[in-house]
Amino acid sequence: MAAGKQVLLPRWLIPVQPEGAVLEDHAVVLDGGRIEAVLPADQLQTTPDCEPVPLPDHALIPGLVNSHTHNAMTLMRGMADDLPLMRWLEDHIWPAEQRWVGPRFVRVGSELAMLEMLRGGTTCFNDNYFFPDVTAEAAERAGMRAVIGIPIISVPTAWASTEDEYFRRGLDVHQRLVESPLVSSAFAPHAPYTVSNEAFGRIRSLAEEMDIPVHLHLLETAGEIQASIDQYGLAPLDRLESLGLLNDRLLAVHMTQLDDHAIARLARAGVHVLHCPASNLKLASGICRVADLDRAGVNVAIGTDGAASNNTLDMFAEMRLAALLAKGASGDPEAVPAARALSMATLHGARALGLDARIGSIEPGKSADLAAVRLGEVETAPVHHVVSQLVYAASRRQVSDVWIEGRRVLENGETTTLDADRILQESEQWRRRLSRTDQVSAGEAG
């Protein structure tokens, strides 16, 4: 599937590494899915069998890494909003999931999510949902890079009935993905309050052995801390440390409840924080102290969370919000400048996923996971500073082309590996099914 030689000629090239750099009049040479060279355009030797791709008013950036998703839930986008977390879950999301979640639901939901992400310049996602085998297959078919969570939760679902079954089925999925060029796996224990000490212990030793990350919702709300002390006699970070999980394998999602001590501890342990600002605000969970984490040297990546709570998978919006909120919440207008926000949405995500040797920046030897963004449009004119326009003004609808391992999966705004019409039709059928359940369960609850 990897393409042969290709040459891209963007107006601006933003390698991300080094942070803040902008190259003009440079060419990117791709070969066999890798970046072979980045060089001044006038040093380019024309090769007769390779017509360069002109990107005359575009910025070329590394593909965005959406570090926390629940892709199948895209089918529940906007099904229930403006509710407290528990009413949202208990009256809407869980009843719908109980009734409908299965391979067909997960396939269509994942496809809709990938369609949305590819159109918006996202080339890699880190997912956490049931039927990970289906999501993995869908990603492979779409040519999209992904880390697929192996869900572990002490609640029976259509995917597995017991913790044991979650492990067994999850390990099968992992096994199948070992040879996959684009898709790998991570453990995805749901949250401290839904996973037993025993399961966490198993995750620790298996994750080490398999050398994969542990992707966990953590410190999402204030209530979580007291609940953990009540049940385990330990706050969540203490409990995870006692279980040997507080280390650089841990991808901690949300983290809205942090004091200075906790921040220093995360920095020492090398824990990665996956920051989901829109979801945190919308559910009023709290605000992650990103400016302080960043200053302490913690690797902060950005994720959209699922579309049922966000309600988009828009990494441009999320990157901008992360940059704005870090300033507003810290009172420091210099916190998370534009170039740092772009790093968080690319290289930091790659680093969290253990993929930074392969993706996250535009450098020779890395995989050609790239997005071209038209900056010549009204909404980003005039272009005083390219990175600023990308982060603070551009929208994902300015993404024209996307490559993953050299394959052009979005061409002039159209996906080449996903059939948008068919996916929209199937999504609409799922909407009808879901809305019947949702009216019933919300009615019962009310």
Tokens of 417: 């590996």
Does a cis peptide bond (omega within 30 degrees of 0) precede residue 280? Answer: no
**Shortest reach from residue 184's CB to its own copies, in Å:** 26
324 binds its own copies (CB under 8 A): yes
Strands (E), 267-338: 272-275, 300-302
* Token pair 């070969």: residue: 31
- Of residues 322 and 362, the one with the C-beta less far from its own copies: 322
- Out of 179, 209, 334, 444, the only residue in the binding site for its own copies (CB under 8 A) is 334
379/368 Cα distance (integer angstroms): 28
- Of residues 232 and 392, the one with the C-beta less far from its own copies: 392
Pairing of strands 370-374, 399-404: antiparallel
267 binds its own copies (CB under 8 A): no
Find the binding residues for its own copies in span 83-102 (CB under 8 A): 83-85, 88
Exposed/middle/buried for residue 4 (C-beta within 10 Å: 0-12, 13-18, 19+): exposed
442 binds its own copies (CB under 8 A): no
56 binds its own copies (CB under 8 A): no
- Of residues 168 and 422, the one with the C-beta less far from its own copies: 422
List the beta bridge partners of residue 367.
Answer: 34
- Of residues 74 and 346, the one with the C-beta less far from its own copies: 74
User: Which amino acid makes up residue 131?
Assistant: F
- Of residues 228 and 285, the one with the C-beta less far from its own copies: 285
104 binds its own copies (CB under 8 A): no
- Out of 332, 363, 411, 419, the only residue in the binding site for its own copies (CB under 8 A) is 332
446 binds its own copies (CB under 8 A): no
Find the binding residues for its own copies in span 148-167 (CB under 8 A): none
- Of residues 219 and 338, the one with the C-beta less far from its own copies: 338
**Shortest reach from residue 265's CB to its own copies, in Å:** 25
**Shortest reach from residue 383's CB to its own copies, in Å:** 7
- Of residues 19 and 31, the one with the C-beta less far from its own copies: 19
Find the binding residues for its own copies in span 373-392 (CB under 8 A): 376, 378-385, 388-389, 392
- Give the contacts of 140 (CB within 8 A, at least 6 positions apart): 180, 182, 183
CA angle, 166 as apex, 276 and 173 as ends, to 5°? 80
In this structure, what are the phi and psi dihedrals at residue 184, rounded to the nearest 5 degrees? Answer: -130, -175
338 binds its own copies (CB under 8 A): yes
- Of residues 326 and 359, the one with the C-beta less far from its own copies: 326
79 binds its own copies (CB under 8 A): yes
Pairing of strands 34-40, 183-189: unpaired
List the beta bridge partners of residue 185.
Answer: 148
- Out of 4, 40, 54, 78, the only residue in the binding site for its own copies (CB under 8 A) is 78
**Shortest reach from residue 355's CB to its own copies, in Å:** 26
- Of residues 154 and 416, the one with the C-beta less far from its own copies: 416
* Token pair 């913690």: residue: 298
258/219 Cα distance (integer angstroms): 8
Tokens of 272: 């990665």
Give the closest residue to 217 by CA, choosing from 115, 313, 309.
309
249/251 Cα distance (integer angstroms): 7
- Out of 157, 395, 416, 417, the only residue in the binding site for its own copies (CB under 8 A) is 395
422 binds its own copies (CB under 8 A): no
**Shortest reach from residue 388's CB to its own copies, in Å:** 4
The residue range among 21-29, 35-43, 232-240, 424-432 that interacts with its own copies, by the rule CB under 8 A, is: 424-432
- Of residues 29 and 76, the one with the C-beta less far from its own copies: 76
Secondary structure (DSSP) of 390-443? IIII--GGGEEEEEETTEEEEETTEESSS-HHHHHHHHHHHHHHHHHHHHHHHH
